[in-house]
Amino acid sequence: MSHGYNGRILRVNLSRGRWTTEEPADSFYRRYFGGECFVGYFLLKEVPAGADPLGPENKLIFAAGPLTGVPVGGCGRHSVGGKSPLTGGFGEAEAGGYWGAELKMAGFDAIIVEGKAEEPVYLFVRDGQVEVRDARHLWGLKTLECEQAIRGELGDSGIKVAQIGPAGENQVRFACISNDLDAFAGRTGMGAVMGSKNLKAIACRGCRRLSLAEPEAVKEIGRWIRDNVPVATQALQEFGTSRVIPGLNQAGGLPTRNFQLGYLDGADKISGQTMKDTILVKKRSCFACPVHCKREVKVDEPYAVDPRYGGPEYETIAAIGSNCGLDNLEIIAKGNELTAAYGVDSISCGGVIGFAMECFERGLLTRRDTGGLDLRFGNGPAMLHMIEQISRREGLGALLAEGVARAAREIGAGAEELALHVKGMEMAMHEPRWKQGLGVGYVVSPTGPDHVHNMHDSNFAKQGPLLQEMKVLGITEPLPVDDLSPAKIRLLMANNMWIHFLNSAVCCFFVMFYGLVGLERLSRLVNAVTGWETSVSELMQVGERAANLAQCFNLREGFTSADDTLPQRFFTPQASGPLQGVAPDADTFHKAVATYYEMMGWPQGVPSAGKLGELGIEWVAPLIQPKP
């Protein structure tokens, strides 16, 4: 077995209450790597076409990668995937923290959960052994209480717990899976899949250390990351991800009032600087990471906020803050605590609440629908109330728990024009009227509008260190944020394939990309860990393989190129502000999407047999052939 892996995958059948282990060949690990690529492989191999995402035939896959658990900054992530109950297509999300490293140290590279338990259960994975334990007493608990109960029951405060909250139990379609209370596999509804299986949590504890091919080389690269990445990411360390708020607001790229606008009067009140000056009590990090980009906040009035739940990052601040017309950092911090406690994706949650607020202001929803709630933009208490209603599936929350696409169809009367999503998943908090290459990335993403495996055009609009890192891929010239030329699409494709690789490795792009570790140094790290003689080119192909597996899963489930478009709102300029008069031209945009397909070897969005063969996954081709 190659170094960097345990060589064991755990399979748990909840219907039977049994577990087994599998030991794939070295060639399997080198081809599919881990993380996102593992998810794509097992979904296509094992989930029947047309399976109910919330039925027992769906699989829930927790996957580490060769770098997960390596004692180097940025190597603390893992991936969770399954068929998405939100989109009906490829579902996958990554989480940081400590759980993924603990899974590797407990002796497994991945866990495949199948079937459904008759009663709530949780798994305890410890040093190569597994227990399926009763969780009826944990069902209904919020995440903090559940973690405390599991650690107390097992008598070990060092146990790492990945779990669902009440939102996952109630199968809210955008429920997430949390670990360490402040790290989330947030998007695509994997928490609902976990809840549908009556699986409350997976607790991990391990004492094994990973075998490294070249320990001294790993240490050398680790020291370089420790000494250099904090310098490159100083603003991220100092102010967290919300450091970007002033710049986004100035450019018109801060989603406001359900993306009607791109700026918020009073945006400075919710910035990273303001958080540092007011409610921040501590910075947090993930496993072995020197950046410490996570926040821990404490609020006493008017809402008590428990610092054990961490603090809001940029996406949360924008989703339940500016997107809902709010500039009150204390209320946003409380909303962050609620989404973490209930286990609901804060991005989609803010998206559906912003949608509901616009519906209310336009008269498509009334106080009769809201139970008397004045659901207007800027109403902070109403936003908090809706997080709880959605998580509990009570009142209007029961409808909004279905996501904006389904809710809009139910409301009717033009609500679908206000439902901002791609493939059924709510928008991430980045403005595609400004970053237009990102907009193309949104629609070609297998999961919908994901900001993580995507390009942010503003990073490449001028010469700088990030563009310098792309030169190894032949990308040398800056391009405007609104450019949609073939050169921009080539940049998008190269950027995205690298991020898909990072999500398969599985490691943090804040460290490995924004930290300027660089593609060649990361390739050396993979070699030092695994003993392989790999290259940047091979690693890029891993990312491309992951993207193709995900695309083929969506095609098999009925998606077509017609699903690869933005909501009409994003082809219409904002009425005022810095982006007044700015929006992508629809024809130019869709030509750019077609160019992406051509560059990827996807005629009309369908990977060719030749492309699949090039990637060594020719077995997928028959799965996407039209039925006679």
521 with 584, same domain: the answer is yes
Q: Are residues 352 and 491 in the same domain?
A: no
Per-residue CA distances from 311 to 261, 306, 320, 345 (Å)? 25, 9, 13, 14
Q: Are residues 147 and 52 in the same domain?
A: yes
Question: Which of 194, 209, 202, 184 minimizes the C-alpha distance to 286?
Answer: 184
Residue 211 included in any domain: no
Instruction: Give the CA-trace dihedral at 362, 433, 498, 422, to 10 degrees.
Output: 30
Whether the Cβ atoms of residue 625 and residue 555 lie closer than 8 Å to each other: no
The pLDDT mean for the chain works out to 96
All residues at 6 or more sequence positions from 518 whose CB lies less than 8 Å from its CB, including other chains: 469, 472
Q: How many Cβ atoms are within 10 Å of 257's Cβ, its own excluded? A: 18
In this structure, what DSSP letter does residue 329 have? H
Same domain, 114 and 160: yes
- pLDDT exceeds cutoff 80 at 576: yes
In the chain, the percentage of residues whose pLDDT exceeds 90 is 96
Looking at the structure, tell me whether residues 483 and 599 fall in a common domain: yes
Please say if the pLDDT value at position 597 is more than 60: yes
Contact 6, 104 (CB under 8 A): yes
Exposed (0-12), middle (13-18) or buried (19+): which is 172, by Cβ within 10 Å? Answer: buried
DSSP characters over 388-435: HHHHHT-THHHHHTT-HHHHHHHH-TTGGGG--EETTEEPPSS-TTTS
The Cα–Cα gap between 542 and 33 comes to 7
Q: What is residue 306's predicted lDDT score, i.e. its pLDDT?
A: 97
CA dist., res. 365 & res. 371, Å (int): 11
How far apart are alpha carbons 617 and 553 in whole angstroms?
13
Question: For position 90, which CATH number holds?
Answer: 3.60.9.10
Secondary structure (DSSP) of 25-81 = -HHHHHHH-SHHHHHHHHHHHHSPTT--TTSTTS-EEEE--TTTT-SSTT---EEEE
Out of 419, 446, 477, a domain closes at 419
Query: Backbone dihedral region of 558: left (phi > 0), alpha (psi from -120 to 50 degrees) or beta?
Result: left
pLDDT, residue 513, reads 87
In a domain, 387, yes or no: yes
Same domain flag for 410 and 443:
no
* pLDDT, tens digit, 9 for 90 and up, residues 78-112: 999 999 999 999 999 999 999 999 999 999 999 99
Residue 118 shares a structural domain with residue 52: yes
Kindly tell me if the per-residue pLDDT of 151 is higher than 90.
yes
The single residue listed with the structure tokens 């996958």 is 92
pTM value? Answer: 0.97
Banded pLDDT at 2 (limits 50, 70, 90): confident
Q: Give me the pLDDT at residue 469, please.
A: 87
Same domain, 459 and 329: no
233 located within any domain = no
Share of the chain above pLDDT 70, in %: 99
Q: Is it the case that residue 628 has pLDDT exceeding 60? A: no
Name the region of 174 (left: φ>0; alpha: ψ -120 to 50; beta: rest). Answer: alpha
Q: Residue 214's CB: how many other CB atoms inside 10 A?
A: 17
Give residue 627's pLDDT: 60
Residue 521 has pLDDT above 80, yes or no: yes
Note whether residue 522 is domain-resident: yes
- CA atoms of 451 and 453, how far apart (whole Å): 6
Euclidean distance between CA atoms 253 and 206, whole angstroms: 44
Domain count of the chain?
3
The strand pair at 280-284 and 177-179 is best described as: unpaired
Whichever domain contains 560, its CATH number is: 1.10.599.10
Q: Which helix (H) or strand (E) holds 515?
A: none
Q: What is the mean pLDDT of residues 17-25?
A: 97
Interval 414-430: pLDDT, tens: 999 999 999 999 999 99
Which pLDDT belongs to residue 1? 65
Is residue 31 included in any domain, yes or no?
A: yes
Q: Is the pLDDT of residue 160 over 90?
A: yes
Q: Please, is 64 exposed, middle or buried when counting C-beta atoms within 10 Å of its C-beta (0-12, 13-18, 19+)?
A: buried
Q: Tell whether 573 is covered by a domain.
A: yes
Domain that holds residue 76: 9-205
Domain shared by 553 and 479, yes or no: yes
In angstroms and rounded to an integer, the radius of gyration of the C-alpha atoms of the chain is: 22
For residues 513-533, give the mean pLDDT. Answer: 94
- Both 271 and 171 in one domain: the answer is no
- Structure token pair of residue 353: 């609440």
Q: Are residues 118 and 257 in the same domain?
A: no
Per-residue model confidence as pLDDT tens digits over 444-477: 999 999 988 899 999 999 999 889 889 889 999 9
**Residue 184 lies inside a defined structural domain of this protein:** yes
Are 19 and 132 found together in one domain? yes
- Is 601 part of any domain? yes
SS3 state of residue 300: coil
Structure confidence at residue 452 (pLDDT): 87
Per DSSP, 470 falls in state G
Distances (CA, A) of 20 to 9, 11, 31, 287, 599: 9, 5, 23, 28, 41
CA–CA dist 85, 192 (Å, integer): 7
Nearest Cα to Cα of residue 566 among 458, 410, 441, 481 = 441
